[in-house]
């Protein structure tokens, strides 16, 4: 059985509006028909209604400013800021100020409505290479202006990288060789993880990586070692 295409050409992107001036273009679609990559342009005062869904979202503000509500919290974000929304949490955002706001979100494909082995399979290094090509094709001359990031769902500081990778591979549902360079996991000593972060920055043009809240303390030595690089 052939694998169905999940490439969406820029000229053929699925487009819809939540208001006359809130335009969303889906540049790449996930296996469960949720977006992998989308672009949303908002006129001042516009934004989607309060909503929720069973997958996580990562939204990066490219231009302008927005006011966002995630659960009980309210934030104001500007260019380069990122907003994470957990599954099933009510959220919305609105462009503020005088200029148009533009947001680029990169989301995992979650065919079962949760982060599991099927979702992990869509985040391998090879899949990320392909997603980067989608973004390059869609952005064209604007590509150098975009700040890219990846979210890490596992950050493990350990002296036994190989053994930990072997243990985690069945949980990810992918071979250990794919876990070793998996873009959404950082495993190893502080020095090994620093090398991984730098290699991924070079391979995927990353401006930064995102770690989960329970990994902040473990990741702190990596931040300290890479600061200013």
What digits encode the pLDDT tens for the residues 16-58? 655 556 666 666 655 444 445 777 888 888 877 777 777 777 8
Contact 90, 99 (CB under 8 A): no
Residue 50 DSSP class: S
Provide the pLDDT confidence category of residue 190 given band limits of 50, 70 and 90. very high
CATH architecture label of 1-146: Sandwich (2.60)
Q: Measured between alpha carbons, how far is 93 from 68 in angstroms, rounded to an integer? A: 4
Provide the pLDDT confidence category of residue 134 given band limits of 50, 70 and 90. confident
Average pLDDT over residues 201-205: 91
The reported pLDDT for the residue numbered 10 is: 59
Which phi and psi (to 5°) does residue 100 adopt?
A: -70, 145
Helical (H) or strand (E) element with 219? helix 216-226
The reported pLDDT for the residue numbered 27 is: 63
Provide the pLDDT confidence category of residue 193 given band limits of 50, 70 and 90. very high
* Residue range(s) of every CATH 2.60.120.10 domain in the chain: 1-146
For residue 106, pLDDT beyond 50 = yes
Provide the pLDDT confidence category of residue 160 given band limits of 50, 70 and 90. very high
Give the whole-number percent of the chain exceeding pLDDT 70.
77
For the chain, helix (H) and strand (E) counts, in that order, are 6, 13
Q: Beta-carbon neighbour count of residue 212 at 10 Å?
A: 13
Contact 109, 3 (CB under 8 A): no
Residue 142 DSSP class: G
What tokens were used for 167?
A: 């243990």
- Write down the pTM of the prediction: 0.57
């Amino acid at each position: 059985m052939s694998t169905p295409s999940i490439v969406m050409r820029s000229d053929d992107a699925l487009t819809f509006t939540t208001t006359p001036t809130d335009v969303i273009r889906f540049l790449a679609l996930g296996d469960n028909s949720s977006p992998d990559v989308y672009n949303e342009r908002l006129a001042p005062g516009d934004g989607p209604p309060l909503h929720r869904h069973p997958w996580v979202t990562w939204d990066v503000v490219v231009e302008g400013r927005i006011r966002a509500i995630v659960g009980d919290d309210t934030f104001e974000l500007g260019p380069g800021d990122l907003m994470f929304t957990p599954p099933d949490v009510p959220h919305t955002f609105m462009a503020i100020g005088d200029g148009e706001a533009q947001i680029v979100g990169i989301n995992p494909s979650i065919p079962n409505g949760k982060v599991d082995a099927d979702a992990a399979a869509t985040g391998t290094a090879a899949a990320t290479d392909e997603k980067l090509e989608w973004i390059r094709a869609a952005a064209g001359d604007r590509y150098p202006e975009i700040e890219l990031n990846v979210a890490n769902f596992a950050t493990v500081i350990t002296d036994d990288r190989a053994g930990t990778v072997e243990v985690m591979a069945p949980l990810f549902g992918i071979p250990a060789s794919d876990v070793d360079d998996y873009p959404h996991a950082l495993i190893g000593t502080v020095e090994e993880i620093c090398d991984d972060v730098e290699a991924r920055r070079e391979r995927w043009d990353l401006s930064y990586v995102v770690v989960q809240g329970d990994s902040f303390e473990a990741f702190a030595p990596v931040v300290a070692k890479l600061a200013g690089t």
